[in-house]
Structure 1
Amino acid sequence: MRIRATVAAVTGALALSALVIPSAAQADDAHRSTVSDVARAAQSTAGAGAKSGARSLAADSTPVQLDLTFSKVTVNGGKPIVVGTAAKKTVPTTFTVTHAADVNIFASDFVLGVDLYRGSFDVPTNELASDALPTCKAVSSTVATCKGQIDIRPQDDLIGNADATTWKALGFAVDLNGQDPMDPDVNKIGFALQDGLGTARVQRLSKLTVNAAPEPVKKGGTITVTGKLSRANFDDLKYHGYATQPVKLQFRKKTSSTYTTIKTIKSSSTGTLKTTVKASVDGYWRYSFAGTTTTPAVSAAGDFVDVK
């Protein structure tokens, strides 16, 4: 199911026009936009610790600040989120919610979750959200533990290579309090928005190939090992060679399970790799890349060479 929030511009300010919480039957048709936009707008209007320049609701709106906080937030188990050029990427989130006894987070019209954003808190450059509502379990009358997710569709959610960076996590909650989601009284809507809940890094998926030839080869003969290091480009959603990167040439004997580094070379301006070695025993050759802050480590599958 996708979470939908529409925040429309009205007389120079942002006003809540609709908040749709789709049922499971509506999952395929619902379109996601971050509900945290609603919470941000409400926070600015209510003056609940809002930062200068934050987006606001209409001037006569006075939404209610919920007594609710987020803690113990993790995104993807603390590991980087590696995204390619086409496939949807879904990673888990976990968090704890502490709330007043009169705040019913299990109400059918109550929405909460954890989003990621980069750039300014007030006016984010980009945001990443979830296709589904989290699952929460009460551990007391005022504490619940929740499991959610972040969903990334490269074509829809990424705006360029600048997205391969560190993102910040925020928690949001919106309580309709029985209001008609298509025509709510904003003054009766509850909200909570909490920044500074941690970070998550998004990386560009890397690929690495190898080919060792000739096969077979005489003992003492020359083996030429070629390959290519490439990575996802979020600007055009294609893969391009990763230039001038150190890549290790590694070898493991047929009878061994451990690779040993033979030498380190650099990829060309187009990401290609090429070097030569002398043949000694049967075994597997591969290239291995240690990774960078924007690109994960990757190793090619070993290419077997029979030495006669």
Structure 2
Amino acid sequence: MPDIKAICAVLEGKIRGNPVAVSLFEKEIPPQYQGLKVDPCQILRHAMDDGTLAYFDREHQDCVHGAFITGVHEGNEQIRSGRILTDYIPAYNLDAAHALNSGKFVLPQGTVRAIGTAPLDKVPEGVEINWMAVVCTPAWACQIAAARAVEDGVQPGSAAGGSFCTDLFVSPWFEENVVLTPGDMGGRMNNKLKPEELFVIIPMRWADNLLKILGEMPDVKGIYEATRPDDSEYWSRQRAKEAKAAVRSNDEATRLAKEKGLKISMDWEVEAVELVARSPRFVRGFAVGNIEDFAEEKGYPLITRAVIEEQMESSGVGKYLKFLR
């Protein structure tokens, strides 16, 4: 049984809103769940952002295509044949459109009576969680989506060109694999995704691996150094920094850096050292090297908070500054 409390804790601050539990209701619909007449995939957002325990079924839905894909509605000829795509999206040919509306892209009719979503930590007792879904940035998605790969080496499935209802409600049932997907236009609109957000769907058999991926700190510097060839410029820079660090005066910034387990080879303001010391332990040493390399390239003789912020912005991680303040 996955450790739901620990999974929610390790995901906090890394995803948007609540991690969402997806449950297939084959016969009875738990009374705690509310039927919503919305596009089927939209029940994800209601659980994620509003904390609602929601479900859709044949009567409670506002998209026959999504209801057909999830096996709770027989659809119509236009949907079953795939013409729903070719009639309105000229890029599709009929064979491709039909393929995406059949086989492993749709749940067999009658497989479930309804499908429900709930915040992962609010699932009523006795309700089975089949898989979970989160929305996050690509930086976190690439780690979260490794929930299966770290155990058996199978990479996540990716999706594009089909319905997000398939990605969210069907593919995990057929494949029992993690799905990493941007979603289709409707799925993104219904769930109000920002341009930088992605969906990750994780079958519960792999969910506990998130505790290892996100809870155990990797040795970033160790990985980097293990991949540098002997003639890499990195090693010559490191030797030069070691030599400078060895002859540095014992000023306040240097003393503070030593207390924090950091080795600096340039002049730093105390505030700048304190800022780096607030970053996660597994990136601190690597961060010092990157900041000093940046300062040397720019010709900055003193590393200040402003220099660190400029370096972070230039490397695409400026948004994480808020966590260091």
Normalised TM-score (structure 1): 0.27
Q: What's the TM-score, normalizing by structure 2?
A: 0.26
Higher strand share: 1
